[in-house]
Amino acid sequence: MVPGTRLLILGKQGAGKGTQAVRLARHYAIPHISTGDMFRAAVRSGSEFGRKARKFMDAGELVPDDVVIGLVQERLRENDARYRGFILDGFPRTVLQAEALDDMLPDPGIELVLDLEVPTDIVLRRLASRRVCVECGTNYSLENPPTDPETCDVCGGKVVQREDDTVSAIRRRLELYEEQTAPLIAWYMKKDKLVTVDGVGHPDKVNERLIRAIDRRLRRGVEA
């Protein structure tokens, strides 16, 4: 992959974006930038900012655009993101955020947008069984728990169900996804930046599909 490549992953909650973004970041040696992880870290720190974000998160609502945009802008100014590129996960979630992102980046902006496609009934099942490490954010599920069900295999942190993985918050997040985030699929398609990848199946298989799709598209860019 060309150094400095800027990727973005879209998909419903529970589509596997976080899991796949971590793997892709490792594979391509680029930073993984997850706004959800950044907000969860702020909540854990107990800061005023974290307390404010938590109210939106627990209700399954979106944190206001100006707050998220400011946070991402600051992160993208750091050297690793500027020189090595990145994979964005959980941002943008609205057209306004996508426009702001375009303004933050030098040409050609985001190079490739991956739409991880999973039917709603499958994401609902995955969300109900999802468990996460509060320290490092590693995702587990009831089907694939860590060796000790309450302790993270990666860092030894506590493994819990996310506060916002309740039935009402999940329903609200999926509603917001359809209303606010799904329009980004057409938005990026029009810019010829979108690749749709089937997100159903074992994470290893989904990962192979994503890498194949990324390499194919980025090669096309280099050869053009």
Catalytic positions are 17, 93, 130, 162, 173
Evaluated on CA atoms 184, 190, 192, 194, the torsion sign reads positive
Minimum Å gap between C-beta 83 and ligand AMP is 24
57 is a site residue for ligand AMP (CB under 6 A): yes
Work out which of 6, 22, 88, 91 binds ligand AMP, going by CB under 6 A. 91
d(CA 71, CA 153): 30
* From 42-50, 57-65, 141-149, 183-191, span contacting ligand AMP (CB under 6 A): 57-65
User: What is the length of the chain?
Assistant: 224
* From 90-98, 123-131, 191-199, 205-213, span contacting ligand AMP (CB under 6 A): 90-98
Pick between residue 111 and residue 164 the one whose CB is nearest to ligand AMP: 164
Number of residues in contact with ligand AMP, rule: CB under 6 A?
17
Q: Which long-range contacts (CB under 8 A, 24 or more apart) does 131-136 make?
A: 131/159, 131/160, 131/161, 132/159, 132/160, 132/161, 132/162, 133/157, 133/158, 133/159, 134/40, 134/44, 134/158, 134/159, 134/160
93 is a site residue for ligand AMP (CB under 6 A): yes
Minimum Å gap between C-beta 60 and ligand AMP is 6
Minimum Å gap between C-beta 194 and ligand AMP is 18
36 is a site residue for ligand AMP (CB under 6 A): yes
**3-state SS assignment for residue 215:** helix
Minimum Å gap between C-beta 155 and ligand AMP is 18
Q: Please name the amino acid found at residue 195.
A: V
- Residue 169 near residue 58 (C-beta atoms within 8 A): yes
Work out which of 5, 13, 138, 139 binds ligand AMP, going by CB under 6 A. 13
- Residue 57 near residue 163 (C-beta atoms within 8 A): yes
Q: Which of 169, 73, 184, 83 has the alpha carbon at shortest distance from 128?
A: 169
Minimum Å gap between C-beta 36 and ligand AMP is 2
Rg (CA), the chain: 17
Of 157-186, which residues contact ligand AMP (CB under 6 A)? 164, 173
Contact residues for ligand AMP, defined by CB under 6 A: 13, 35-36, 39, 56-57, 60-63, 68, 90-91, 93, 97, 164, 173
